[in-house]
Amino acid sequence: MYSYLKGLFLIGLLVIQVPTNAQENLSVFVHDSIENQKPWSDKPFYNNPENFQFAIVSDRTGGHRKGVFGNGLNKINILYPEFVMSVGDLIEGYTKDPDLLDEQWLEFDGIIDSLKTKFFYVAGNHDYSNDVMAQRWKERYGKDYYHFIYKDVLFLVVNSNDGDGVLMGRDQIEYLKEAISQNTDVRWTMVFMHHPMWIYGEANGFNEVEEVLKNRDYTVFAGHTHRYLHEIRNDRHHYLLGTTGGGSKLRGPKFGEFDHVSWVTMTAEGPKMANLALSGIIDHDVSNGQTREMAVNLMQAAELSPLLLSKENERKVIMVLKNEAEETLYFKGQLFHHHQVQPDESVFEVELPSGASKQITFKVKSAAEIDQNGWDPLQMQWQMGYDSAFMEPAFTLSGTEIIDLDDPQVNISLTEEDIFLKELSVTADHPYENLQLKYTVNGQIPDLNSSNFTKSFVLKETSETQFLFADNEGFTSSAVKKEYRKVKPSKASRVGRPKKGLSYSYFEGDFTSIPDFGSLEVIKTGATEDLSPDTIGERLDHYAIQYEGYVKVPSDGVYTFYLRSDDGSKLYINKELVVDNSGSHSAETKKGLVALKKGFHPIQIDYFEDFLGEELQLEYSGPTIERSPASLWYRP
């Protein structure tokens, strides 16, 4: 019997030819079925030998969460990719201490040692942002930009910090162009970088690389933003990866905020990508242009901002829900049990169609004696989101809203311009329905008998205004105060024959705030017709400039000045500080108001550059001009 069965088994183990996705090869697939009908589909095995798979890890630092990156590598080892790519920000960096850099790189290399396959380094701004960091990189890893070919696919590794800020140096641009030009017969090209250079404009040089790439198939991968996004640019796939341990609010895949490794399979049709979260597999297009708009709407809608109204020993809570997306939103909320108070309603379910706005309103009565410390906060557990398809990542936000029953904030937007010359029209905007807005202009707290605000009112003198909400049951909110000042415009200066431009003095030093220019040695002086620190600075980083001259305004009035800088800056007009934008920071805009008479006014702009990019812009708006560059500079 054994010999008979053995004979049948050997007859049944037929070696068959199974076509692959590209060609037909002898397969290792053997079976014992001799019938025409088979208990499997007739699709070929997906085993083209030209295919290969690799993994990509994203930002580890910039809010580093310990252990996540190493956990990601453990997951990668289970999957056995042929190699692992990165998109930079591997260490905390941002230091000139060589010993600290060596310590951080030793730690990182120790983590990488756990990988069972090859790892390719890509420089991020946390890894390569000053001369010391660049030197350490080259000593440890050699090239900071390079290329290689694997199974007829060209890999280009870009250093997006090869210069001051998000920039490629000339040598790197020519190197990448040459690598592309010398490898015209590859089947695909993949580009890896830290910053998504395509969104920074043409000044960084990546547009030149794109021009050389335009006649071939390619895919681009980047990181830096800590938010996943898939984009189509020049008919090519561009991926901004999320995080593998870097700082993130982790609000979920639909918000582009999740820890993952990307899994790429190179096929005859090009690379196919999936995102592997630590808890599962996420589709490559989970966050895109459409979901980005939905995410922004959901985040805004989830800002509940409860309004509290009071009457004797009762409270009334109002929350506004608003949906500006094209899809329907759903809200669920439940109040926690409270020992002091008893709400008249505790469970809420609201459906918000596109464009809808609805209010949740409930009353709270005292259920116990309220002691001298006041009311304890009320808490609402809530969830808000869109319907998600079965087994898709949930597109929701949830949390616990703390409702202050003593003195919460009142959500009201008042006229921002708080100084005027002759008169000022005051407007107010708020999201609430079926409430009266009471106001006073004499500094007194409004009450139920105060004037009702309609659309606006006019002030002709300095006034302290106060606003509060009231309903038809006599409940009122706390008051919002704002002072509006009537001022006289600063007199203009007499200037003989002014020349176009500003005078400047240039200084050098390691500054982290606006320095005391009087205590510094002037390196050079000169004149300029625009605010371009990089054309004055004699080195990439660590310098300061003081600009002086006049700004000419066309008429009497209140002017708003917008000062944008990277790093810090201050604006003085008529020796008075108008805008303070100091501190070491990336590009940031702050504004200030000043009343000026028609003509010339002394202006002083203090600026310093720490490291990583330099920018200085000044715009203004006034009675006869919309916001525009303040380019009417003059000097004696």
Per-residue DSSP letters for 8-31? HHHHH-EEEEEE-SS-EEEEEEEE
**Is 554 in a helix, a strand, or coil?**
coil
| Cα distance between residue 319 and residue 378, in whole Å | 14
The hierarchical CATH code for the domain 52-287 is 3.60.21.10
Give the domain 499-635 fold: Jelly Rolls (2.60.120)
Would you say 126 and 92 are in contact if contact means Cβ atoms under 8 Å apart?
Answer: yes
Tokens 């004699």, located at residue: 538
Task: Give pLDDT, residue 21.
Answer: 43
Q: Are strands 307-311 and 314-322 parallel, antiparallel or unpaired?
A: antiparallel
Strands 557-566 and 615-622: antiparallel
pTM attached to this predicted model: 0.75
In 3D space, the residue among 159, 114, 111, 110 whose CA is nearest the CA of residue 133 turns out to be 159
CATH architecture of the region 413-486: Sandwich (2.60)
Residues 469/437, Cβ–Cβ less than 8 Å: yes
Give CA–CA dist 417/8, Å, rounded. 93
Q: Please give the pLDDT value at position 630.
A: 65
Closest CA to 125 of 617, 609, 568, 586: 586
Contacts of 130 (CB under 8 A, 6+ apart): 96, 541, 611
302-403 in CATH: which number? 2.60.40.1230
The edge-to-edge listing of strands for the beta sheet with 396-403 is: 347-352, 329-335, 378-385, 396-403
pLDDT digits (tens, 9 = 90+) for 494-545: 988 888 899 999 999 999 999 999 999 999 999 998 898 999 999 888 999 9
Q: How far apart are CA 157 and CA 176, in angstroms?
A: 9
Domain range annotation of the chain: 52-287, 302-403, 413-486, 499-635
Q: What does the H/E/C string look like for 137-192? A: HHHHHCCCCEEEEECCEEEEECCCECCCCCECCHHHHHHHHHHHHCCCCCCEEEEE
52-287 against 413-486: fold identical: no
pLDDT tens-digit readout, 225-282: 999 999 999 999 999 999 999 999 999 999 999 999 999 999 999 999 999 987 777 7
CA distance 221 to 351: 39
Q: Cα separation of 225 and 205, whole Å?
A: 20
Kindly provide the b/e burial profile for residues 14-43, where b requires at least 16 CB atoms within 10 angstroms of the residue's own CB.
eeeebebeeeeeeeeeeeeeeeeeeeeeee
User: CA 85, CA 87: separation in Å to the nearest integer?
Assistant: 7
Tell me whether strands 615-622 and 625-629 are parallel, antiparallel or unpaired: antiparallel
| Separation of alpha carbons 100 and 102, rounded Å | 5
pLDDT digits (tens, 9 = 90+) for 123-151: 999 999 899 999 999 999 999 999 999 99
> Residue 45: which of 60, 31, 59 has the closest Cα?
31
The pLDDT value given to residue 11: 34
Structure tokens at 217: 């198939």
Low-confidence ranges of the chain (pLDDT < 50): 1-26
